[in-house]
A and B are shown apart, each in its own frame.
Chain A
């Protein structure tokens, strides 16, 4: 379980990014965080990942206060995720290299992910030779390679066209159904928040505070996006975001 307790963040220059944010995500659940640009979503994710210290409050994962990055947590950053100086294969394998995983095991895990994400034939390519969608897939593969129990994602699909985006959303959902890791997904898109998050946290404009927590228990099925209930939920979230 992840619990965010009264987290506030004031940057050194005085910018108040977050104010008294509290919420919980149960183990094996998925949660979307949505809010206007600049409201502190990325900041919040970095704090949960243990990369940034909150000015006040604390984050607990399974009852332990987060002070530094944790072993079974993977993070996909907004833009800078991939290392341009590493090939697709080396990017995906990096987490395993750092953990000194046996090379044979590494090969198997990486090749499997490359296969599943349709990146075959691009192992030796560098990020700049890839399309936006493929880069995003590599970033996802790199996070999945370390077989995380918790997956934190910062707008992973925002720069993709609608079709690729739906593809990857479905992929993520299938993966979640297989592995039931805990997912926290930051997004700008109401549809994405509703499709992927069984809990939706709506943040206010900066300084970000929790404006609403919307339960969305029907999420988790690929066909959800075609249902009336889905559209109704989107309307509910939209009202809550714009209110």
Chain B
């Protein structure tokens, strides 16, 4: 991040906190505590927050890793017509279904533990990533492929030197969107049948009307999302230096 863009981020942060502060002052309702009280609550509850955040983080990371390791190769392989003829009907029939409704089924099959949560998030991400990857693969100009074939490339070279690097920016964008989705679904999955994770912490604080802890939990969840975002940005900067 360059110096001037750091300043921009800082200014946006200050503006947001100020707006929050003003709103809480105007409303003067315990359901909207001012930011400094939430900050104090975060420090006071740092131990629990970190414990729950780590559980949530692990669930999200497992989900992303599981979804990516299945959907990326399948999306890439859809360049092969024979494979795509089988794969894309499945994808397009199953994609528009709101997969979140599978949670009860997943709990039936995978139990109420982490597995059903990870499976649910991974299912949703699977579709987001594979549809994007597949479309990106179809979008790679045939001329790039001609270009490398004329250099004597075999099938594997085409993937390695053309298809995969060409789709990388779109795949990383899909991954970035996935982070948002993953955390939203995580919150849903953690809001019942568990006593661990930020989702649980938030729902629990809410039911006890502990608004400061509620906001601390929400802030922690926001930070979790933000840090995953930053990680993907760093990966992108490494993998897509050419952009």
- The residues of A with any CB-CB pair to B shorter than 8 Å are 46, 49, 51, 69, 71, 73-75, 77-81, 83-87, 94-95, 98-99, 126-128, 142, 146
Please report the C-alpha to C-alpha distance between residue A69 and residue B157 in the assembled complex, in whole angstroms. 14
Interface of A is mostly: loop
Q: Are A51 and B149 in contact (CB under 8 A)?
A: yes
By a CB distance below 8 angstroms, the chain B residues around A99 are 152
* CB-contact partner of A83 in B149, B150, B162, under 8 A: B162
* A74–B150 CB distance below 8 A: yes
A80 near B150 (CB under 8 angstroms)?
A: no
B interface, CB within 8 angstroms of A = 141, 143-144, 146-154, 157, 161-162, 165-166, 168, 240-242
Q: Is the CB of A94 within 8 A of B165?
A: no
Residue of B nearest to A73 (CB): B150
What's the least CB distance linking A33 to chain B, in Å?
Answer: 17
Q: A85 near B150 (CB under 8 angstroms)?
A: no
Closest to B161 in A: A94
Nearest Cβ distance between residue A206 and chain B, in whole angstroms? 20
Q: Which residues of A contact B240 (CB under 8 A)?
A: 85
Chain B nearest Cβ from A66, distance in angstroms:
12
Q: In the bound complex, do residue B143 and residue A80 qualify as a contact, i.e. CB atoms below 8 Å apart? A: yes
A87 and B242 CA atoms in complex are apart in Å by 8
- Cross-chain contact B146 with A75 (CB below 8 angstroms): yes
How near does chain A come to B76, taking the closest CB pair, in angstroms? 15
Given A51-B146, A85-B165, are A80 and B141 also a contact pair (CB < 8 Å)? Answer: yes
Expressed in whole angstroms, the Cα–Cα distance for A231 and B150 within the complex equals 35
Say whether A80 contacts B148, CB under 8 Å: no
B161 contacts across to A, CB distance below 8 A: 83, 86, 94, 98
18 contacts between A and B (CB under 8 A): A51-B149, A75-B150, A77-B143, A77-B146, A77-B147, A77-B150, A78-B143, A81-B147, A85-B166, A85-B168, A86-B161, A86-B242, A87-B242, A94-B161, A95-B151, A98-B148, A98-B151, A126-B242
A202 to chain B: closest CB distance in Å?
25
| Interface pairs A-B: 10 shortest CB-CB | A80-B143, A75-B150, A95-B151, A85-B165, A126-B242, A85-B242, A51-B146, A69-B149, A98-B153, A98-B157
Residue of A nearest to B166 (CB): A85
Measured between beta carbons, the chain A residues less than 8 angstroms from B149 are 51, 69
* Residues A94 and B151 in contact, CB atoms below 8 Å apart: yes
Closest to B144 in A: A80
Q: Could you tell me the distance between the alpha carbons of A142 and B150 in the complex, rounded to whole angstroms?
A: 11
A95 touches B165 (CB 8 A): no
